[in-house]
Structure 1
Amino acid sequence: MDYLRNLGSAAVSTLVQKSGINLPFTLGQKVASCETFWVLYDATKRDDGSPVSVFEYDFVHPLNKPTIPLAKNALRKLRTIRHPDVLKFMDVAESESAILIMTERVRPLSAALQTWASKSQQERQDWLLWGLHRVSVALAFINDSAASTHGSVRPNAIFISPSGEWKLGGFEVLSNPKDDNPVLYTMGGLPPGSMSCAPPEVKKNGWSMLKDGPSSAADSYALGLLLHSVFNPTHPPPETAEPPHPPPQPSSRGAIPPSVFPCFKKLLNPNPKARMTPKTFLDTGMAETAGEASGFFANNRLVKVCGGLDNFSLGSEVEKATLLRTLKESASSFPPEFASFRILPSLVTALEYGGASAATIVPLVLQFGKNVSPDEYMNILGPLIRLFASPDRGTRMALLDSLSEYADKVDKKAVVDKIWPNLQSGFTDTVPVIREATIRAIVLLSPKLSDRILNNDLLRHLARLQSDPEASIRTNTCILIGRLGPTLGYNTKQKVLVPAFSKALKDTFVHARVAGLVAFTATSECFNIEDVAAKVIPSIVGATLDKEKIVRDQAFKAMELFMKRLETHAASMVCFSSSHACFVVFTTV
């Protein structure tokens, strides 16, 4: 294990030289020395730089030699037992000196428990029950579907993903009675601390007696002890864990929720055949007709949200709407890691389906995406950009209304190649609110539009919109042209601006006329002095007698601005005359 002590590049290269293997990851900091004789490291995946974890087992260390079969069993089981609530196996590097297993990025449960100790009682209870729910699902799968016994359900066998979800690991002794040489029945006591989670029958007769009993018996008892340890971390194990294994007393409940305590007692039943199984514990907790001792999972808000997200595509419109409303109303109350790494990815996935719900999902995605890193935000942008191709007007409006929250994060190529081709259909939409929202969107996207789009395609759309039946659209179109003016090409400015603003001055809507005058003022530097004298002032002067005072006032302001420009320029002109005087000759006919 010395080659990994300092976690330096030299150490890693030494391992490669000795083993001849090509590591699929780059090791980072050591996270923990797991009690199950593994060393846990943070790492990054070589091919894409994504965060992963690496579990290292050192064959050379003398204390590890007796447990080498357990390390190999853990690798074999982790490879074959795939389940959302089981630690996700990704790759492995093996040599004569070590096994290095690459998994999804996780941290030990013990570290997470310390973090959650400072939370409010309700927040902590919600998170613990959610975690126990996931562990129960995993155990029910292992016991029933895989017909196996985990054999080591303890806090050190549980890991926490970036989203805060509990993942079951610690497969060193996981066995099926039909395995070739199942290790649980002969080596179940070798992992450090294994007897702390052993049921009464094992403490009395050894691990071999599990082979002929229910596959869930040992795991049920260990689940009960796990439940006690996470809710009461400062308490000693319950008296029932030691001979003569008396039934749990009410005084041993501690912080265990009252609704869970009856199941807790059944999990710790000394009789393995009468002991509550993880599957029964799970079903009781998920009971919809919740009684006094049931429904503790079904009523947990994190469990409900996860269930709704997992089944979102299959849910009815009413179920989808209820879930999205819950997310919106409770957004600030979810744990940050749960919001960023559990809710957000599920909502982004749901966006891929589009449909009526997308209009509601878009604002939620942006709301939950505020706290993610720039790299992770790129996973949000892709689906958002693709949604511009959706024919659903509600989706389009949601994208346009929220554009200010993500426009600065979209690069120019994506705007030109993916957003603009779909966005421009909004200029001709039959629904006025879509046309108006599209105009407003251009203000945010114009810095990323190409010169060709700005000086040709866009202006053609805006010229048509200046004759739109809706007065507000005509007004906003004029305002937009005024804002775009300084960014247009020289020839485009000379051809477009005066006609566009002059047309607004003839509009029947008073605010459109005001917009035309304001636009003239805002783009004053876009006009050469000859055009000011010959085109701009003649266009404005008539507005000084407009029937609306607001228009007249703005017209005089504009006239004052442009007249000052003329006066300044005229004062700088050179008078060409004879050397001493200018002669004016009057001819009389």
Structure 2
Amino acid sequence: MFARLTALVGSGNSLPLEVTGEPSLIWGSWTHTSGKWKADGSAVSVFRVASSNPSDPKLAAARNGTKRLRTLRHPNVLIFKETLELEEKGEQVIYLITEPIVPLAEFLESTTLTGTDRQEYLTMGFHALVAAVSFLNIDCSLIHGNICSGAIAVTPTLDWKLCGMDLLTEHAQVGPASPLAAAAWLVASQYKPGEVGRGEWEAVRAAPPWAVDAWGLGCLMQELYSGHALERLEDLRRTDVIPPSLVQWYQKLLSSTPARRLSPARLVESGVLRTSLVQLMAFLENLALKDSQEKDAFFKRLPSLLPSVPTPVAQRKLLPLLAGALEYGGAPHAALGTLLTIGETLPPEEQAARVVPIIAKLFAASDRNIRRGLLENIGAYGASLPEALVEEQIFSHVATGFTDGNPYLRELTLKSMVILGPKLSQKTLNQVLLKHLAKLQVDEEPSIRANTTVLLGTLATHLSEATCRKVLLNAFTRALRDGFPPARAAGLRAIIATAKFHSPEDAATRILPAIGALCIDPVRASALDCLEHFSAVLKAHQQDLTARAEASTATGGGPTASSSGAGSATAGGGLMTSLGWAASSLGLARAGAASPVPTAAGGSGQPLGADEGWDEDDADGLAEHGGWRKSFRREFSNGGIGIVEMLFRSNILALVGGGPLPRYPPNKVMLWDDHQGRCIGELSFRSRVRRVALRRDLLAVALEHKVLVYAFSDLRLTASVETAANAAGLLALSTGPDAALLACPGLHSGQVRLEAYATRRTRFVQAHSGALGALCLTPSGKHLATASERGTLLRVWSTADGTRLQELRRGTDAARIHSLAFSGGRGALAATPPEWLAVTSDRGTAHVFSLRRGQGVGPAGDRADGGGGAQQQQQPEGRANPTSKLAFVSSYLPLAAGYFSSERSFAQFHLPDGAPTVVGFGQEPGTLLLLSSSGLFYNLAFDPLVGGACEQVSCVQFMEEAPRQGGGY
């Protein structure tokens, strides 16, 4: 024990104790100060006595006191921690470390207790001290010899503890050499009974063991109820300050005859000190000994008793007792209400420090009644719960109530989310809470279904905008079909409350049709309010479009309200059939530098967005000329273009603003007629446009969580498709003369959704186990190519039946796919099946794969329906994609078969600078074209029979390289 405290010698950072208060004299020669252990930060009290004379009697008395305190264990005796004796700066010093306390006199001087509350508290404390003295005198046959206010300490829970054991002596060993006699000089004469003051030790030994300390208890009563320390022996004659009920007991304690002095045990047993407060605390302190009936009766009465408990006592003593009883199962759940009532009286910072940790532990309790009580009273404490605590410790326990078999608990859990929901992270809200709410919306209890809709409307402001658009309207329109009228009314009110998340398109195509029938329903009042609200929204939207059109007409360069037509499309060869990404994905935002962007399949001009307009560069004849010819440039003096999509080789383009100073907002698609030199139509969205695709009859726009399809002739919305998160804007639209086919991500990871608009059929292809990295369609729409997010695997599919036709391996290292492109399919040959598939990635390579394999791909293998068919043509000798040299292992290791049997690339090219690149095929066989974000155009050739490394025919610098800002593309 001493060894652990030897570091207290001297001073410095090596001390295991840190003194946090100023020392003050507590009793005798002892000084007291507060401190804490450096190891764990726990609070302690530090007592110190010192003398330059090693034989000083006060050191002997201090040694006796620390030795005795070490061996005593009683609820009302100060708890001993550590002690040591050492030499410090020429003095002999004794340290005593105990539980944290403040001296009684200091506490009574600072407390706010007054009047009856003070008297109640003093009586409770005096009762505890009498019990401690009775323990010493009768159970241990010891004499304390120093009972006074200076020998009493108060703990943080307001308990009184007996200390100052320097004179403690065994009754049978009292004599001139005993500590009681040797250290009697430490006790002031007014506190000494006559026999002690006269040194009659035989009389002390002949008297009962409690005789000396009974006198001290009388002195203590005088000090407590008079409010000041005992200064003269004559002050003990004052009985006017003693409560009338205690006067006779006070006089018996101070009897001049030692044998007639009142025993502390008799004083306790008399019941005169057992006030209602003392009884209440005694019951809680001995709760483990009570049976269930006693507990139930007590806790039913406790709320009515609480007003009589002094507020500091309730906060600092009753609150911890209730918390311990609830946590360890000693108290019924009815005690929770009292605990929370006390917690409400605390300042917010104390409530967070003292009540919130208790609540967190109680939520983890297995007793469902405890959880029920917590949820019923959550309004009393919920606001003080820290977000981190709710997220990490509380919500997981509360969430079990969503699936509880008791409907009342399910509803309480649901209602608690009004307070707890805003404290949850977006991940927990989206991945956990919303899933529970989706189930509760179809709960068997009508009130739960209705309240779930109310909660969703309340939580809307705490959800991300993307989540709101994806979830809310689906949930609210489901509520409109509920058979319970309050649930339908809740759905209508929630739609109005969350109106800012619903676009005019949603209002026109989903909300108004859904509420029409409700206008003659029992909830018709709410339905008509909703109808009126969104009718006004649509009217305002129409007025806004009209005002913009008029403003545009006045300036001669703005958009009009609707499209004037798509113009005529001409067939012809194109530079790149499937350039499937936007300029922003390559980071080509630079003043005066062009940005390669998607172009419609079948066009021979490649439009490039720039910070001050756009270029159209002609690729016709590039294989022959080996150069790049700029055919047209359109400059805008007041902004840049981020996405350009051309309708074949017509004068119609779709523009989206981009660059540092965008010409148009990035959430708008502007249709530009370059013959007229102005916008002829516009589409506005609530979020950024990620991709645009065009064909003669359709215009498709990819947003982050939705793809919208419009009729090109009048910009009428014809379809809205929900997708998984699609920040990359994955979207493909067949451009051949056959019926339109659209490909986009589905709602599940790795899923592709195929929409055939002529047949109104939807097909889902689970292309990859992970998220999609890229996709493209042949112009005919009969074949689909997909890449995984890891970029290692490419797969080719039949869109007619979803059959996987071929699996190709780009490499083993993960990569971001920049571009996918099928060969062939230009102009009149749009229905011709592809022979090759090319891919570029951020690994700085381009790969070409042969598709002429007997699996339904290739000239003889392609059927009208895109399926495999009986007619299949094997590749000519030497035309096959290579496979791994370890392909034979597949038959021995079935689990590894997919890796070893996958086909590798037929031809490859490594870009010197590794910049992001778009790939396409030239008109001549074996021609590969690359357009790099570094401003380079590559014309490559590969051998269609042998494959291998591509030969660089030419490389043209058509623009200066754009600087990479923000650390990368």
Output the TM-score relative to the length of structure 2. 0.52
Aligned to 2:519: 544
In structure 1, how many angstroms separate the alpha carbons of the residues matched to 2:8 and 2:327?
42
> Which stretch has the larger CA shift, 264-273 or 461-470?
461-470
3-state secondary structure, aligned to 1:56: strand
3-state secondary structure, aligned to 1:167: strand
Q: Mapping of 1:94-493 within 5 angstroms?
A: 94-96=85-87, 97-115=92-110, 119-120=114-115, 122-177=116-171, 183-193=178-188, 195-207=189-201, 209-233=203-227, 239=234, 252-284=238-270, 295-298=271-274, 300-354=275-329, 357-370=331-344, 371=346, 374=349, 377-378=352-353, 380-390=355-365, 392-488=367-463, 492-493=467-468
Residues 128 and 486 of structure 1: CA distance in aligned 2, closer, same or farther (over 3 Å) = closer
Task: Give the C-alpha shift of residue 485 in structure 1.
Answer: 3.3
Task: Give the C-alpha shift of residue 148 in structure 1.
Answer: 0.8
Is it true that 1:70 corresponds to 2:61 in the alignment?
Answer: yes
Is it true that 1:56 corresponds to 2:48 in the alignment?
Answer: yes
3-state secondary structure, aligned to 1:30: coil
Residues 332 and 469 of structure 1: CA distance in aligned 2, closer, same or farther (over 3 Å) = same
Residues 158 and 507 of structure 1: CA distance in aligned 2, closer, same or farther (over 3 Å) = same
Task: Give the C-alpha shift of residue 36 in structure 1.
Answer: 0.8
Amino acid at match of 2:40: D
> Which stretch has the larger CA shift, 501-510 or 74-83?
501-510
Segments of 4+ moved more than 6 angstroms: 178-182
Contact 2:28 2:187 in 1 (8 A): yes
* Cα offsets for 1:460-518 (capped at 9, x unmatched): 32223223333322211111122233444566444432221112222333332221112
> Which stretch has the larger CA shift, 143-152 or 506-515?
506-515
Residues 77 and 438 of structure 1: CA distance in aligned 2, closer, same or farther (over 3 Å) = same
Contact 1:159 1:167 in 2 (8 A): yes
Contact 2:429 2:463 in 1 (8 A): yes
Identity fraction in percent: 30
Amino acid at match of 2:145: G
Amino acid at match of 1:217: A
Task: Give the C-alpha shift of residue 372 in structure 1.
Answer: 6.2
Amino acid at match of 1:359: H
In structure 2, how many angstroms separate the alpha carbons of the residues matched to 1:516 and 1:562?
18
* Cα offsets for 1:567-587 (capped at 9, x unmatched): 2553346225485999xx9xx
In structure 2, how many angstroms separate the alpha carbons of the residues matched to 1:480 and 1:262?
66
Amino acid at match of 1:99: I
For the pair shown, which has the larger CA radius of gyration, 1 or 2? 2
In structure 2, how many angstroms separate the alpha carbons of the residues matched to 1:430 and 1:569?
52
> Which stretch has the larger CA shift, 440-449 or 208-217?
208-217
In structure 2, how many angstroms separate the alpha carbons of the residues matched to 1:389 and 1:116?
36
> Which stretch has the larger CA shift, 317-326 or 129-138?
317-326
Task: Give the C-alpha shift of residue 119 in structure 1.
Answer: 1.4
In structure 2, how many angstroms separate the alpha carbons of the residues matched to 1:135 and 1:479?
57
Amino acid at match of 2:209: S
Aligned to 2:20: 28
In structure 2, how many angstroms separate the alpha carbons of the residues matched to 1:570 and 1:81?
88
Residues 155 and 459 of structure 1: CA distance in aligned 2, closer, same or farther (over 3 Å) = closer
In structure 2, how many angstroms separate the alpha carbons of the residues matched to 1:185 and 1:229?
23
Task: Give the C-alpha shift of residue 151 in structure 1.
Answer: 0.7
Residues 31 and 553 of structure 1: CA distance in aligned 2, closer, same or farther (over 3 Å) = farther
Residues 580 and 541 of structure 1: CA distance in aligned 2, closer, same or farther (over 3 Å) = farther
In structure 2, how many angstroms separate the alpha carbons of the residues matched to 1:257 and 1:369?
33
In structure 2, how many angstroms separate the alpha carbons of the residues matched to 1:211 and 1:338?
40
> Which stretch has the larger CA shift, 325-334 or 424-433?
325-334
In structure 1, how many angstroms separate the alpha carbons of the residues matched to 2:363 and 2:12?
50
Residues 127 and 389 of structure 1: CA distance in aligned 2, closer, same or farther (over 3 Å) = closer
Amino acid at match of 1:369: G
Residues 116 and 403 of structure 1: CA distance in aligned 2, closer, same or farther (over 3 Å) = closer
Contact 1:231 1:254 in 2 (8 A): no
In structure 1, how many angstroms separate the alpha carbons of the residues matched to 2:430 and 2:113?
59
Pick 1 or 2: higher relative contact order, CA cutoff 8 A, min separation 6: 1
> Which stretch has the larger CA shift, 161-170 or 413-422?
413-422
Larger fraction in strand: 2
Alignment: residue pair count: 545
In structure 2, how many angstroms separate the alpha carbons of the residues matched to 1:35 and 1:333?
34
In structure 2, how many angstroms separate the alpha carbons of the residues matched to 1:205 and 1:489?
85
Contact 1:30 1:39 in 2 (8 A): no
3-state secondary structure, aligned to 1:29: coil
Q: Which runs of 5+ in 1 are unaligned?
A: 1-14, 242-247, 285-294
In structure 1, how many angstroms separate the alpha carbons of the residues matched to 2:153 and 2:213?
17
* Cα offsets for 1:59-78 (capped at 9, x unmatched): 2389x933210111111112
* Cα offsets for 1:48-93 (capped at 9, x unmatched): 334332221122389x933210111111112121211112222234
Residues 25 and 366 of structure 1: CA distance in aligned 2, closer, same or farther (over 3 Å) = farther
3-state secondary structure, aligned to 1:468: coil
In structure 2, how many angstroms separate the alpha carbons of the residues matched to 1:547 and 1:503?
17
Task: Give the C-alpha shift of residue 566 in structure 1.
Answer: 3.3
Contact 2:485 2:522 in 1 (8 A): no
Contact 1:151 1:188 in 2 (8 A): no
Aligned to 2:862: none
3-state secondary structure, aligned to 1:406: helix
Output the TM-score relative to the length of structure 1. 0.82
Contact 2:492 2:527 in 1 (8 A): no
Task: Give the C-alpha shift of residue 522 in structure 1.
Answer: 2.1
Residues 528 and 559 of structure 1: CA distance in aligned 2, closer, same or farther (over 3 Å) = closer
> Which stretch has the larger CA shift, 19-28 or 479-488?
19-28
Amino acid at match of 1:51: A
In structure 2, how many angstroms separate the alpha carbons of the residues matched to 1:238 and 1:93?
37
3-state secondary structure, aligned to 1:34: strand
In structure 2, how many angstroms separate the alpha carbons of the residues matched to 1:238 and 1:479?
74
Contact 2:191 2:233 in 1 (8 A): no
